[in-house]
Amino acid sequence: MGVRPSLYEELRNQGVSRRGFLKFCGYMSSVLTLPVGSAEVIAQALASKPRPSVIWLSVQECTGCSESLLRSFEPTLESLILDSISLDYHHVLQAAAGAAAEAARDRAIEQNWGKYFLIVDGSIPGKDAGARSTTGGKAGLSLVRNAAQGAAVIASVGTCAAFGGIGAAAPNPSGAFGAADALGDLVAAGKVTAPIVNIPGCPPVPEVITGLVTYYLTYGSIPALDDLRRPKIFFGKTVHDNCTRLPFFERQQFARSFDDEGARKGWCLKDLGCKGPLTFNACTTIKWNQGTSFPMYSGHGCLGCAQPSFWDRPGGFYTKPF
């Protein structure tokens, strides 16, 4: 197996200019809230290190997490993710299908054992030995557990992979859970040694995914995590902390309906069920759709989708958070 080109070399081969590359490094430095001068450190690391192999396993999922990644802003997915990292297996985005796709996955795992990024999206069914979700005749539970043992980093992308999400909502007929729970006994036995990082959201903010990969390539480690395995640089503050409606919350000015005068003036949506004060995510800082907006800016409250059991919250989505 030949030496992989560096991320910068691959970007250059795809027509990305050095200016565009440096712009990406500066953007990532900002997104990751790194100290002044970190853009140069990122650039040096990405220009010298081989692009990583990424194995993306989808279990009980809706493809929303992949769709979110397709809308990553800086740079485009085509120039960063598909061409710059080695996305060796993703059954939605890859060209191969059937036995050829499964063989490519197994080959990539074998050739990159101990070095690849394992990304999991979708909840993992535990009942009936995982038979409720299979790929190529193999249970998703088995595929994830086997691949996790050779991973350098395991990223649970989306709330389903992180905490079970909608797949684990009551009455949870498939016995679904998140990747960390599916791997708990292997971690305890020392068979899985890679750090497990949760990137929740329904779907997750796409730049959080690219940010994690960039951080690891730059520093050779993962960023600090909170008690739910989420990167603190993205999940260290609540959605409420940086909401444009925060001044109205502090003045106790709350909209009473989605079309009343207060709502039109941008008043706080807490009384309409906004879960921003209880939800940790980067929605209001990085925003969505190329930095355009986020739910409260568009007039709807936060559903708390980055939190565990958000789908089963007592009272539903539109009850007051407190």
Residues 303 and 230 in one domain: no
- Residue 83 is predicted with a pLDDT of 52
Q: What is the mean pLDDT of residues 297-318?
A: 91
The domain that holds 301 is classified in CATH as: 4.10.480.10
- In this model, does residue 102 exceed pLDDT 80? yes
Examine residue 19 and state whether it is found in any structural domain, yes or no: no
- In this model, does residue 82 exceed pLDDT 60? no
Q: For residue 287, give its domain range.
A: 237-322
- Residue 30 is predicted with a pLDDT of 83
Percent above pLDDT 70 for the chain = 91
Examine residue 8 and state whether it is found in any structural domain, yes or no: no
Residues 245 and 179 in one domain: no
- In this model, does residue 71 exceed pLDDT 60? yes
The domain that holds 183 is classified in CATH as: 3.40.50.700
Contacts (Cβ under 8 Å, ≥6 apart) of 106? none
Residues 102 and 241 in one domain: no
- Name the phi and psi angles at 165, rounded to 5: 50, -145
Residues 307 and 184 in one domain: no
Residues 165 and 241 in one domain: no
Residues forming the annotated binding site for [3Fe-4S] cluster?
283, 302, 305
Residues 142 and 276 in one domain: no
- Residue 2 is predicted with a pLDDT of 55
Residues 142 and 180 in one domain: yes
Residues forming the annotated binding site?
62, 65, 160, 202, 240, 243, 268, 274, 283, 302, 305
Examine residue 23 and state whether it is found in any structural domain, yes or no: no
Residues 229 and 261 in one domain: no
- In this model, does residue 34 exceed pLDDT 80? yes
Q: Could you read off the pLDDT of 230-239 as tens digits, one per residue?
A: 999 999 999 9
Residues forming the annotated binding site for [4Fe-4S] cluster?
62, 65, 160, 202, 240, 243, 268, 274
- Residue 213 is predicted with a pLDDT of 83
Residues 242 and 197 in one domain: no
Answer with the residue of higher pLDDT: 280 or 100. Answer: 280
Instruction: Report the alpha-carbon distance of residue 3 to residue 302 in Å, rounded.
Output: 45
Q: What is the mean pLDDT of residues 156-182?
A: 96
**Cα 275 from chain centre:** 20
Predicted TM-score (pTM) of this structure: 0.88
Looking at the structure of the chain, the number of domains it has is 2
